[in-house]
Amino acid sequence: MTEKFSRRDFLKLAGLGAATSAILTGCGPASRYVKREPYQQMPEYNYVGQNTYYATTCRECAAGCGLVVRTYQGRAIKTEGNANNPLNLGKTCARGQATLQGLYNPDRVQGPSTGDWDSAIQAVADALKNYKPNEIAFLMGMAPDHLFDLVSELASATGMNAPVRFGALGMFESRATLSKAAENLFGQAGLPWFDINGAEVVFSFGANFLETWLSPLPYTRGFVGLREGETKLRGAFVQFEARMSATGAKADHWVPVRPGTEGLVALAIGKLAAEARGGAMPRAFSSVNPADVAEQAGVELEALEELAAMFATRKVLAIPGGAALAQSNGLEVAEAVLALNALSDNFGQAGGVYLSGLAPMQTEYNRPASAQEMKSFVEKMKSGAFKVLFVHGVNPVFEVPASLGFKEALGSVEQVISFATFPDETAAEAKYVFPDHHGLESWGYQRVATGSDKPVLSGAQPVVSPYYDTRATADVLIAAAQLAGGKFAEALPFKDEVEFIETKVSALMAEADGSFSAADPVTFMAYFQQHGGWFKNVDARVSLDGSAVLNNNFKGSEAEFAGEGEFFFVPFVSPTMAEAGANKPWLQELADPTTTVMWNTWVEINPETAHELGLHDDDVVKVISEAGEVEAYVYLYPAIRPDTIAMPFGQGHTAYGRYAENRGANPADLLGAHFNEAGDITFGGMKVKVEKVKSAARGIGLSRLESTMGVYGDSLGEEH
């Protein structure tokens, strides 16, 4: 042997041999062998290899749409709308579809922060027992209602503070203003109900009813009725808003009025229409001068006259949307727009305005807290009046505008206990996190607040068994109340959550005109689960008396703006993600309907304005208001006023799982603590500055579905 055949060479060859056999065997069936675990015990109603469908309620927002979930071998595979539910009639929105990505999200809270549920329940019981009842506060989301009812009962029996509800969607809809306007005009608070389906023409003052507003599915159905009615002509649709929303994009006429002038425009159109019709001028329109309004709103007088001519001759439904009401004069805007309906004699008629009826098991309209009420809540936290704060179904650190100081105030509360399913910003600040089940693993019910003419109680039941070591918050509270004893135990004399729901739901057995009936509670509850809820076959909408609304005297006041900047600011709720969708990857990857942007936050700027400022697509700008500043990419948006910029709400999380964290910016950080007369934050009444931070660079920028080469790309900037 001239050379030694080294040990190393031998190992190389042996390795090659092993690799060869691995490749050869890799082709064989052994590599395909999988393991299958049969059921230990086959659940009821299941059949080997067959799908099982369960009816439940969607928890992605508080509207209360019914779902039917396809499950296969104990896994939830697909959600579809429940055709039995009069609210959504078998349809779902994108968020309802993506709810599965919440259920099987890799970043859920997997168990109680104390390690086990016994100590968790002990912690809750201690929190209830060791503090005075008025030192304990509950902050809850707008869903689910059964938990709200349970906590309300606990609170009223023990003297604790009544639970407060809040949701960013309600804030961006200016629900307090809508409800207050109804109260002022018709003597009854509640959410107005607009019969778009039956209307001839719709004048929407910034209402994004095809996106997230109030209850988008029934309003989409109404829109289809407006356009496609079998018996009537195609209805017309006019949208008044400074920035074209996805709803406004469907309008025949988009009228870009200056933010804050919506009420004036409504009154001016009313005046011109009344003039065109002749007769006595209603008092409501006496104070406005259409020519002045046209100038203030930045639209042509002729345009207003044309719209007024339409108003004078056809039956027009006027709708006040959230952004128009989020102004210092918002209450008057709401009243003016609602009053405009009197011209078309719309009250209590098909194609007109009603008040939403009360849902089953509801005695009065229960609206979520306004931002102003949240501010006083925060002040109580700061002053130490609240020593224990329970949070469920809402993420106030993210959803409540930062200027209200919720996050800072949490530090003044001795015990913050979060029931969050996801590790959100509020849970990160909490002392304990005791995770609730995901909506698809939960029992419950939800009252349908608006959208259906019938009173609907949507029912929820688990479609799969809990994936993680989570526990229903109602069960935790019941167990803790038992443990705390005394009046707490007396307040919640239930075995568990299901017994509480059964007690509540079976009270409906006595009601007439129900969608089903049964002789005994057990059967009734079984039907309730099977149908995914219960509704009453009556038209519960409240007819309004609008005979006097035009006698109101509207001052025609101008909106006041906070801040120094040169731009009006329009924050809007992301149509695809809404307030809590950012943690679901497919919602992130859905293209925004108007900009087609995915996965990020953008600032919409008119191309002309951008050109003047030397801004291009994908430049990074800082938007500065009196309350704060955020950075985001520029999007040259052709359908926005040159004096206005807009940003979507939904991103900008600092927690909330890998798909949401550190992505985009939160425009709520720019909102100062200013409120209108009804207590809603004036998110449309901010003025902002824009500063360029960085120029667009190759490979960095917004991901869009549309091609960036084209009409409104950078070419505009270069050509001019």
Partner 1 sequence: MIRPEEIKMSAEETGKWGMVINQDICTGCQACVAACAMENNVTFVGEEDSGYGRSMHWIRIERFWEGEYPEVKMTPNQPMLCQQCGSAPCEPVCPAFATVHSTAESLNLQVYNRCVGTRYCANNCPYQVRSFNWRDYERPEPLPNQFNPDVTVRRRGVMEKCTFCIQRIHKAQDKAKSEGREVADGEFTTACAQACPANAIVFGRVDNPQSLVSQLAHKGHGVKHLEELGTLPNVTYFKGG
Partner 2 sequence: MIKSFFNWLKQPLGLIAVGIVFLALFSAAAYGLYTTQQAPDQPIQFPHKTHVAFGIQCLYCHPGASKGPAAGIPSQAKCWACHNQIVKTRDSALLAPLKDAVLNGESLEWVPVAIVPDFVQFNHRAHVAAGKNCEECHGDMTQQLVAQNPQVMNMGWCLNCHIENAGEDQAKLIKLTDCGTCHY
Residues 23-62 binding partner 2 (CB under 8 A) are: 24-25, 28-42, 47-50
Indicate whether 82 belongs to the interface with partner 1 (CB under 8 A).
Answer: no
Candidates 15-23, 219-227, 376-384, 633-641 — which segment interacts with partner 2 by CB under 8 A? 15-23
Indicate whether 696 belongs to the interface with partner 1 (CB under 8 A).
Answer: no
Pick from 514, 505, 517, 507: which is nearest to 536 by CA? 514
* Residue recorded with tokens 């439940």: 56
Indicate whether 421 belongs to the interface with partner 1 (CB under 8 A).
Answer: no
CA distances in angstroms from 139 to 19, 95, 121, 147, 697, listed in the order given: 61, 24, 19, 12, 44
Indicate whether 16 belongs to the interface with partner 2 (CB under 8 A).
Answer: yes
Indicate whether 8 belongs to the interface with partner 2 (CB under 8 A).
Answer: no
The C-alpha atoms of residue 207 and residue 266 are separated, in whole angstroms, by: 14
**Strand runs (DSSP E) across 547-624, as ranges?**
567-573, 597-598, 602-605, 620-624
Residues 55-74 that bind partner 1 (CB under 8 A): 72
Indicate whether 331 belongs to the interface with partner 1 (CB under 8 A).
Answer: no
Indicate whether 77 belongs to the interface with partner 1 (CB under 8 A).
Answer: yes
Contact 445, 144 (CB under 8 A): yes
Considering only 403, 600, 601, 676, the residue that binds partner 1 (CB under 8 A) is 600
Considering only 11, 15, 21, 486, the residue that binds partner 2 (CB under 8 A) is 21
Indicate whether 84 belongs to the interface with partner 1 (CB under 8 A).
Answer: no
**Residue 27 CB, nearest approach to partner 2 (Å):** 8
Indicate whether 291 belongs to the interface with partner 2 (CB under 8 A).
Answer: no
Indicate whether 9 belongs to the interface with partner 2 (CB under 8 A).
Answer: yes
The C-alpha atoms of residue 138 and residue 389 are separated, in whole angstroms, by: 6
The C-alpha atoms of residue 222 and residue 235 are separated, in whole angstroms, by: 11
Residues 606-665 that bind partner 1 (CB under 8 A): 606-608, 638-642, 663
The C-alpha atoms of residue 586 and residue 29 are separated, in whole angstroms, by: 34
Alpha helices in 507-567, H assignment, sequence order? 521-531
Candidates 36-44, 220-228, 478-486, 682-690 — which segment interacts with partner 1 by CB under 8 A? 220-228
Judged on CB neighbours under 10 Å (0-12, 13-18, 19+), 130 is middle
Indicate whether 228 belongs to the interface with partner 1 (CB under 8 A).
Answer: yes
Considering only 2, 510, 711, 720, the residue that binds partner 1 (CB under 8 A) is 711
Indicate whether 17 belongs to the interface with partner 2 (CB under 8 A).
Answer: yes
Between residues 88 and 344, which has the closer beta carbon with respect to partner 1? 88
Contact 368, 167 (CB under 8 A): yes
Considering only 171, 196, 244, 474, the residue that binds partner 1 (CB under 8 A) is 244
Indicate whether 512 belongs to the interface with partner 2 (CB under 8 A).
Answer: no
Which of the listed partners (partner 2, partner 1, none) does 35 bind, with a CB threshold of 5 to 8 Å by partner kind?
partner 2
Indicate whether 93 belongs to the interface with partner 1 (CB under 8 A).
Answer: yes
The C-alpha atoms of residue 116 and residue 92 are separated, in whole angstroms, by: 37
The C-alpha atoms of residue 191 and residue 175 are separated, in whole angstroms, by: 7
CA distances in angstroms from 530 to 17, 72, 82, 463, listed in the order given: 61, 18, 11, 12
Considering only 88, 346, 372, 473, the residue that binds partner 1 (CB under 8 A) is 88
49: helix, strand or coil: coil
Between residues 344 and 594, which has the closer beta carbon with respect to partner 1? 594
**Residue 434 CB, nearest approach to partner 2 (Å):** 25
Indicate whether 104 belongs to the interface with partner 2 (CB under 8 A).
Answer: no
Report the phi/psi class of residue 58: left, alpha or beta, with left for phi > 0 and alpha for psi in -120 to 50: beta
Residues 462-481 that bind partner 1 (CB under 8 A): 467
Pick from 366, 318, 331, 357: which is nearest to 181 by CA? 331
Candidates 279-287, 675-683, 687-695, 701-709 — which segment interacts with partner 1 by CB under 8 A? 701-709
Contact 639, 243 (CB under 8 A): yes
Contacting positions for partner 2 (CB under 8 A): 1-3, 5, 9, 13-14, 16-18, 20-22, 24-25, 28-42, 47-50
